C-alpha cells in the first residue's frame, strides 16, 4: 500500500522537478489539464460504469456529495468575516468541494481496484453540481465581487451558468451515465475496448497535472491564508468522513470509499475560479498541491486502519 501511494506521490514530485529544470514551462499544466478533463477522466467515468454493477441505492451518494460540497461553502462565508473580500473568496472556493474525479478516483482505484470507481463517480455527481459552476456564482454573489455579467437579464445569467455545466465533458459523462443507469442500458463492449488505454492513463495524467501546477508562493499573507484553508478542509473532512461512516445506509466498502474521498484535495475548478476572482493563480495551484499531498497521506492511513474486509 505504501508503494502504491508512493508511486502516485512520485509522479507529482518528478513532474514538478522536471518543471524546475525547464523541461516543462509554467503553462504546461494547461495541456495536461485539457487531457484530464476532456479525455482521460471522461473515459475513466464511462469505464467504471461499463465494468461494474450500479445498484440504485448508490444514489444516496449523489445527495451526500451535494451537501458535502455546498454546506462548507456557506460555513466559510460566515467564518471568514473580517478578512479581505479576495481572501474570503479564496477561502470559500478552496475550503469547500472535493477533488474527486481528477484525484480521488485514481487514488481509490489504485488502492481498491477498478470496481471502487463507481461509488466515487456517484459521489462526484453531487459534488460536481456545486464545484463545477455553482460555487463561483454563490461566492461572487455573497461577496458582491464584480462580474462582467452583473447587468445581464436573469435569463442570460441562467444560460451562462448552464453553459458552465454542459461545457464540461466530464459532467456531461456523469449525466449520460445516470441516464444509462435509470434506463438499464449498458455501454457497448467495443466502446469499452477503445477507451481502456485512456482510462488507464487517468491516474498518471491527474498526478502529473498536480505536479505541473505546483508553485510555492512568496507572500506571507498567502501562506497564512493557505493555513486557514488547510484548517477548514481538515475540519470538514473529519465531519464528512464521520457522517459517511455512521449515517450512510450502504455497505462498509462503499462507506470506506466515501471516507477516503472526504480527504480529497482542493478541486481543479476552485483553482480556476480563484484565479478568475482574485488573480492569484500561484496560491491556487500551490493550495491544490499541498492539500493533495496531505490528502494522499490521510487516505493511505485510513485505508490501512479501517476495519473493512
Each residue of 189-237: pLDDT tens digit?
A: 999 999 999 999 988 988 898 888 888 877 888 889 999 999 999 999 9
Q: What is the mean pLDDT of residues 163-184?
A: 81
Dihedral Cα 96, 269, 45, 206, nearest 10 deg: -100
- Domain residue ranges in the chain: 1-8+27-305
pTM of the model as a whole: 0.85
Write the secondary structure of 62-99 as one string of H (helix), E (strand) and C (coil).
Answer: HHHHHHHHHHHHHHHHHHCCCCCHHHHHHHHHHHCCCC
CB 266 within 8 A of CB 97: yes
CA pair distance 149, 162, nearest whole angstrom: 14
Task: Using alpha carbons, list the distances in angstroms from residue 24 to 9, 29, 82.
Answer: 18, 9, 40
CB 104 within 8 A of CB 260: yes
Of 11-15, 76-80, 282-286, which has the strongest mean pLDDT? 76-80
Residue 150 has pLDDT above 70, yes or no: no
Query: Class assignment of domain 1-8+27-305?
Result: mainly alpha
Amino acid at each position: 500500500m505504501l508503494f502504491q501511494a508512493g508511486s502516485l506521490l512520485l509522479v507529482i514530485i518528478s513532474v514538478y522537478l522536471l518543471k524546475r529544470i525547464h523541461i516543462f514551462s509554467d503553462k504546461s499544466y494547461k495541456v495536461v489539464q485539457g487531457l484530464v478533463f476532456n479525455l482521460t477522466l471522461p473515459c475513466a467515468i464511462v469505464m467504471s460504469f461499463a465494468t461494474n454493477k450500479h445498484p440504485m441505492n448508490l444514489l444516496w451518494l449523489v445527495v451526500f456529495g451535494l451537501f458535502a460540497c455546498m454546506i462548507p461553502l456557506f460555513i466559510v462565508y460566515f467564518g471568514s468575516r473580517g478578512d479581505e473580500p479576495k481572501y474570503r473568496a479564496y477561502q470559500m472556493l478552496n475550503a469547500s468541494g472535493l477533488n474527486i474525479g481528477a484525484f480521488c478516483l485514481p487514488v481509490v482505484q489504485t488502492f481498491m481496484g477498478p470496481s471502487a470507481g463507481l461509488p466515487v463517480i456517484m459521489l462526484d455527481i453531487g459534488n460536481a453540481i456545486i464545484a463545477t459552476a455553482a460555487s463561483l456564482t454563490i461566492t461572487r454573489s455573497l461577496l458582491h465581487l464584480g462580474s462582467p455579467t452583473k447587468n445581464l437579464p436573469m435569463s442570460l445569467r441562467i444560460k451562462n451558468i448552464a453553459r458552465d455545466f454542459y461545457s464540461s465533458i466530464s459532467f456531461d459523462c456523469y449525466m449520460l451515465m445516470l441516464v444509462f443507469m435509470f434506463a438499464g442500458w449498458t455501454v457497448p463492449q467495443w466502446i469499452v475496448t477503445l477507451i481502456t488505454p485512456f482510462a488507464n492513463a487517468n491516474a498518471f495524467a491527474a498526478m502529473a497535472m498536480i505536479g505541473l501546477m505546483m508553485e510555492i508562493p512568496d507572500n506571507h499573507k498567502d501562506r497564512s491564508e493557505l493555513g486557514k484553508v488547510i484548517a477548514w478542509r481538515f475540519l470538514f473532512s473529519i465531519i464528512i468522513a464521520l457522517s459517511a461512516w455512521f449515517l450512510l445506509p450502504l455497505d462498509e466498502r462503499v462507506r470506506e470509499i466515501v471516507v477516503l474521498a472526504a480527504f480529497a484535495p482542493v478541486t481543479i475548478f476552485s483553482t480556476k475560479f480563484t484565479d478568475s476572482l482574485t488573480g492569484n493563480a500561484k496560491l491556487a495551484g500551490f493550495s491544490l498541491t499541498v492539500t493533495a499531498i496531505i490528502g494522499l497521506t490521510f487516505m493511505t492511513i485510513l485505508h490501512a486502519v479501517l476495519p473493512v474486509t
